[in-house]
Structure 1
Amino acid sequence: MKPQLIDLDYTLTDTFMVKEISAPFFSNTHHFHNDYEIVLVKESAGKRIIGDHVESFHDSDLVLVGPNLPHAWFNEKEYYEGNPNLRARSTVLYLRKSWLENEVLRLPQTTRLRKLLEHSRRGVKFLGKARHYIGQLASQLNDKEGLSKTVDLFRILQVLSETEEYQLLTSSNYLNTYNNNDTVRLNDVYEYVMKNFSTEIRLEAAAAVANMSVNAFCRYFKNQTQKNFFWFVNEIRIGHACRLLQKKDIGIAQVCYESGFQSMTNFNKFFKRITGKSPTAYRKELFRFQ
Structure 2
Amino acid sequence: MKPAYEHVEFGDECSVRVYHRRLPRIPFEWHHHPEYELTLTLNSHGKRYIGDSIEGYSDADLVLVPPNLPHTWASNRSIDSSVPQVAIVIWFSGEWARRLADVCPEYTPLRDLLRRTACGLAFGEEVGAAMRTQLDKLLCNAPRERLGAALNVLCSLAEAPGRPLASPAAFSERTEGPSGHEPERINRVLSMIDSRFAEPLRLSELCEAANVSERSLARYFEQHMGESVGRYIARVRIGHACRMLAHTSAPVSVVAARSGFPNVANFNRQFKAMKDLTPVAYRRQFAVGDVAEAHAGPRITERSPSLQRNPRMPKSIA
Name the counterpart of 1:114.
111
Looking at structure 1, the residues matched to 5 and 251 of structure 2 have their Cα atoms a distance apart, in angstroms, of 24
Q: CA deviation at 1:218?
A: 10
Q: CA deviation at 1:146?
A: 4.0
Name the counterpart of 1:205.
none
Name the counterpart of 2:148.
151
Q: In the alignment, is residue 232 of structure 1 matched against residue 282 of structure 2? A: yes
TM alignment of 1:86-125, pairs within 5 A: 87-125=84-122
Uncovered stretches (5+) of structure 1, i.e. residues with no partner: 181-208, 237-290
Q: Aligned residues: percent identity?
A: 24
Describe the superposition over 1:16-54 as per-residue Cα deviations: whole angstroms up to 9, x where unpaired. Answer: 111111111113511111001110011111000111111
Name the TM-score, length of structure 2 as normaliser: 0.53
Looking at structure 2, the residues matched to 12 and 117 of structure 1 have their Cα atoms a distance apart, in angstroms, of 23
Q: In the alignment, is residue 176 of structure 1 matched against residue 171 of structure 2? A: yes
Looking at structure 2, the residues matched to 25 and 219 of structure 1 have their Cα atoms a distance apart, in angstroms, of 38
Name the counterpart of 2:66.
66
Given residue 84 of structure 2, which amino acid in structure 1 is its aligned partner?
A: R
Describe the superposition over 1:189-214 as per-residue Cα deviations: whole angstroms up to 9, x where unpaired. Answer: xxxxxxxxxxxxxxxxxxxx98x8x4
Contact 2:66/2:119 (CA < 8 Å) preserved in 1?
yes
Name the counterpart of 2:45.
45
Pick closer, same or farther for the CA change 1:136–1:49 going to 2, 3 Å.
same
Describe the superposition over 1:222-269 as per-residue Cα deviations: whole angstroms up to 9, x where unpaired. Answer: 98xx98762315768xxxxxxxxxxxxxxxxxxxxxxxxxxxxxxxxx
Name the TM-score, length of structure 1 as normaliser: 0.57
Looking at structure 1, the residues matched to 140 and 59 of structure 2 have their Cα atoms a distance apart, in angstroms, of 21
Looking at structure 1, the residues matched to 11 and 46 of structure 2 have their Cα atoms a distance apart, in angstroms, of 27
Name the counterpart of 2:183.
none
Pick closer, same or farther for the CA change 1:179–1:126 going to 2, 3 Å.
closer
Contact 2:50/2:69 (CA < 8 Å) preserved in 1?
yes
Looking at structure 1, the residues matched to 254 and 15 of structure 2 have their Cα atoms a distance apart, in angstroms, of 40
Q: CA deviation at 1:59?
A: 1.0
Q: CA deviation at 1:141?
A: 1.2
Q: Give 3-state SS (helix, strand or coil) of 1:143's partner.
A: coil
Name the counterpart of 1:193.
none
Q: CA deviation at 1:148?
A: 2.6
